[in-house]
Structure 1
Amino acid sequence: MASPPARRARLRPLARLARALVAAVWTGRAGPPHPRPRWLAPRVPGFLSLLPFRTIDLVLIADLVLAFILFRAVQALLTTEVADLAAPLDQGEIAFIAATSSLPLALRDRWPLTAWRLAVVLIPWGVVTRGYDLEALFSADAVIMYLLVVYAVAVRCERHVIIGVWMISAAALWILGIQSGPDLPGVTFIGIAMVTVTVLFGYNVQGRRTAAGRLAEEERRSEQALAGQAVLEERARIAREMHDVVAHHMSVIAIQAEAVPLKARGDVRLLEEGLGEIRTLSLAAMTEMRRVLGVLRDGEGRTDTAPQPGLGRLEELAATARTAGLTVALKLGGDLLDLPTAVSLSAYRIVQESLSNAMRHAPGSAVTVKISRSGDELNIHVTDDGGDRSAAGAAKAGGEKHTGHGLIGMRERAAMLGGSVWAGPTGKGFAVTAILPIMEEA
């Protein structure tokens, strides 16, 4: 007598087959449709923008058209042959038989498993209505409809459901071959082979689409990770630049703290003035330090003590851009030399990156740089006219690739100061607009 584990091991394949059959007939559900390629789902033209959908599903349209063609073809065929039947069919019966070959096809895209179940019921029912003509099972309309429905199941359903569908289809064809006598066995074997090939092909398509979807998801995650890394790197670079600003303030505070007592020599008024200056510088240093801590979110904390530029060096920056082939026009308004160091540095870097983008993507263009101070805001507007786009395209084809990190840096600099940046095409060119709040260092 076999042990319980051995009996369970023998019964396990039967349980799997039973599960597959039950899933195919009743419990199974089709998975979500795979995204259509753009050529199979083009966007709705602008003059049809009031329609409730945004894309045109060409696969669904093809199914509906084919279903209509099959319906009309079977209807016309039965209408011409009705006189030869022993029991003539009325128009309702003819319409029902035609629907058995068309209705599942119209439903297969949205509900593939339901369409298959409907086909399994409607095809024999249509044969019975037609007068037990078994050859109708292998008519062109029935074969086309059934294979397309089985393909939809193989593309959208789980493996055990697909196995159940194949088993039921093969068993039905085998039983039909036994009951039909010597007339249809060869056709039955061909039918089983066609269903098998359709199932294998559809399951292979499902596997390839699933793999492609996973690959696209991994690429999306990789791009997000690279973008996040670029943001962190840009924040670290900005913070290293701001280090020099804070170091300058602290150096001045140390000098003032040493010089004020010597300068005051017991004069209370001079001592108060000196302490007030130290307080002002301390508040400015604390403001800059908070900005650095807000930007620098990694743990390295490396410093770069190179002198940092500001708006006072705009003419030098424009001259460098002109030597690279750009035509640069500066339009400056308001007092731009009396800006907080952090604001002046960020504004300089935004203009610098905008000019670099124009050199890469619009060589030879005319660039206008407008900077104005309005109350407690600094407005920056950099535009180019597009220049020689063909040259830029040749540069890209030669291997140059714009990573987009420059725009990330602009936005990070503006966000550090509580400002904002807009960038995008305008006409044939490109425009960058930034608004930076001016917070006094005292």
Structure 2
Amino acid sequence: MTTSPPRTPAETPRPQPAADGLVSAARRNLRKSAHGLSHPSHPPVPPLAGARKRWRRLVPYVVVLALTALFLPVTLTVLTNQYGVADALAGLLAVAQTAPLLMLAHRPLQAWWIIFPADILGALVLLGYPSQPMGIWPWPPPTLICYFFVMLAVALRETRRTVISVWALTAAASLVLHLSATDRSNGTSALLPAFSAVFMVIGAVIRERGVAQRRLAEQETINEAERAQRTLLEERTRIARELHDVVAHHMSVITVQADSAPYRISGLPEQAHEEFAAIAASARESLTEMRRLLTVLRSDGTEGERAPQPGLDRVQQLVEATVRAGLPAELSLSARLPDVPQAVDLSAYRIVQEALANVLRHAPGARTRISITSDGAHLTVLVVNDRAEQPDSPLEATGTGHGLVGMRERVRLTGGTLDTGPLPDGGFRVAARLPLDPAAPPAPEDS
């Protein structure tokens, strides 16, 4: 093991002075500010570009056109008549100070980079002309007001650091011009930074509010998608549990029949005995695996789902319980239904159950009609409710549609179709068509 020689006092690193840390931080902030001033923080897309209506998308262009059409002739008139600037020079200054307003809709920072130097140049040019009794220097009234709109546009689109940097340069330019000709300066050198700060604060508040609203909308969209996905997974888990009970019943029948076949059928050869024993063993193994899977699926400890699964024979009880809850419901159940597969039987019951629950939540007191019929090949479940007649407000003002997720998943599982949607009179309709033959190909979905 080797040891390094002790450091001499000259080699020992000394703590960095606080002043050096402040200088480094200042340089870093200056670099970031310079980068913000030279690189817009937004793409060249005007505000309201994502609006659905065309007239809203055109509003920013109309505003900048109106500002340019207003300030260009006013600035030219003020420079020539009030300050005595030559027509050609006044025209150049007026164009440089107002034409970039057309860029405020999509590139306000670049517009500021043109208007700000042009305003400073205009102030320097006015120094070469005699002071007028009504002359305002260094910022004439059109220049002052026009600059406020520029600052507002910059604050609406750029980051807080860039906005502060723009205001700092504006204040510095006003101070330098005031000190260079204090006899000509008559107040606008202080007005520009003061009112610019007000406009920039207003713009920054509006921008921050818009950003917060967009982030909130995005988060709500993400949460809604997560809730829908979680609901779908929960419903699939529930269906898997119920399917276990359906399949386990048939597997148990297979096991019993395979075990009892040698005793019920006499004269079977030894090979048939072995075949029935293998069938019974495979069935028992499948049952064991399904019970193991069921233990995982029911790990939440719910006891109610261990009861026998309901079917069409319990729809009457379900409707009666709904009527007792205050919902006027009528049931029309075909008296001659064919043999309904257990999965379809359970799915039909769950669809009616969820549809009635939705009516209770969103349209309490609405008259509801339930119809269950069959044409021999398909089972049709129809639940239609009218508009709620009671003045009571619904338990849920807006629905997420998560109840329909379970219906669609069950219908998809059985190969059927589901049609849901509002009715013209304000009611709602749920129609499911479930095939009774498991081998039949699924019909195309209606919606």
CA drift of 1:152 comes to: 2.6
Q: Give, as a single letter, the amino acid of the residue that structure 2 aligns with 1:429.
A: G
- Asked if the contact 1:347/1:380 (under 8 Å) is kept, the reply is yes
* Alpha-carbon displacement from aligned partner over 1:251-282 (angstroms, at most 9, x marks no partner): 323332333222112257xx89x96xx89x96
Q: Give, as a single letter, the amino acid of the residue that structure 2 aligns with 1:115.
A: A
In the alignment, does 2:21 pair up with 1:23? no
- Asked if the contact 2:137/2:188 (under 8 Å) is kept, the reply is no
Q: Give, as a single letter, the amino acid of the residue that structure 2 aligns with 1:120.
A: F
C-alpha distance in 2 between matches for 1:328 and 1:36 = 54
Query: Structure 1 residues 187 and 28 mapped into 2: Cα distance closer, same or farther (>3 Å)?
Result: same
The structure carrying a bigger helix percent of its residues is: 1
SS in 2 for 1:239: helix
Q: Structure 1 unaligned runs (5+)?
A: 45-52
* Alpha-carbon displacement from aligned partner over 1:199-258 (angstroms, at most 9, x marks no partner): 455445444444444444444333333333322332233333333323322332333233
Identity %: 32
C-alpha distance in 2 between matches for 1:336 and 1:441 = 19
Aligned to 1:412: 409
SS in 1 for 2:306: coil
CA drift of 1:351 comes to: 1.9
* Alpha-carbon displacement from aligned partner over 1:116-149 (angstroms, at most 9, x marks no partner): 1121133345567778568365233322221222
- Asked if the contact 1:33/1:156 (under 8 Å) is kept, the reply is no
CA drift of 1:364 comes to: 4.0
Ranked by relative contact order (alpha carbons within 8 Å, sequence separation 6 or more), the top structure is 1
Aligned to 2:4: none
C-alpha distance in 2 between matches for 1:99 and 1:293 = 78
C-alpha distance in 2 between matches for 1:190 and 1:416 = 72
Query: Structure 1 residues 293 and 220 mapped into 2: Cα distance closer, same or farther (>3 Å)?
Result: farther
- Asked if the contact 1:422/1:433 (under 8 Å) is kept, the reply is yes
- Asked if the contact 2:329/2:370 (under 8 Å) is kept, the reply is no
C-alpha distance in 1 between matches for 2:346 and 2:333 = 18
In the alignment, does 2:329 pair up with 1:330? no
In the alignment, does 2:105 pair up with 1:109? yes
- Asked if the contact 1:380/1:435 (under 8 Å) is kept, the reply is yes
CA drift of 1:340 comes to: 1.2
Aligned to 2:173: 172
Q: Structure 2 unaligned runs (5+)?
A: 1-13, 130-134, 441-447
4+ runs deviating over 6 angstroms: 33-37, 128-131, 296-299
Aligned to 1:391: 391
Q: Give, as a single letter, the amino acid of the residue that structure 2 aligns with 1:108.
A: L
C-alpha distance in 1 between matches for 2:85 and 2:306 = 101
Where in structure 2 are the equivalents of 1:280-359 lying within 5 Å? 304-323=305-324, 324-328=326-330, 330=332, 332=334, 336-359=337-360
**TM-score, length basis structure 2:** 0.73
Where in structure 2 are the equivalents of 1:52-67 lying within 5 Å? 53=54, 55-56=56-57, 58=59, 61-67=62-68
- Asked if the contact 2:46/2:106 (under 8 Å) is kept, the reply is no
SS in 2 for 1:142: helix
* Alpha-carbon displacement from aligned partner over 1:382-419 (angstroms, at most 9, x marks no partner): 3223242x535x233xx787564321221222233344
Aligned to 2:116: 120
C-alpha distance in 1 between matches for 2:346 and 2:141 = 76
CA drift of 1:65 comes to: 3.0
- Asked if the contact 1:20/1:164 (under 8 Å) is kept, the reply is no
**TM-score, length basis structure 1:** 0.73
Where in structure 2 are the equivalents of 1:25-424 lying within 5 Å? 27-31=38-42, 43-44=52-53, 53=54, 55-56=56-57, 58=59, 61-74=62-75, 77-78=77-78, 82=80, 86=84, 88-89=86-87, 96-125=92-121, 135=136, 137-184=138-185, 186-266=187-267, 304-323=305-324, 324-328=326-330, 330=332, 332=334, 336-373=337-374, 377-388=378-389, 391=391, 394-396=393-395, 404-424=401-421
Query: Structure 1 residues 35 and 407 mapped into 2: Cα distance closer, same or farther (>3 Å)?
Result: farther
CA drift of 1:28 comes to: 1.8
Q: Give, as a single letter, the amino acid of the residue that structure 2 aligns with 1:338.
A: D
SS in 2 for 1:194: helix
TM-align CA RMSD: 4.6
- Asked if the contact 1:331/1:368 (under 8 Å) is kept, the reply is no
Aligned to 1:426: 423
C-alpha distance in 2 between matches for 1:85 and 1:34 = 38
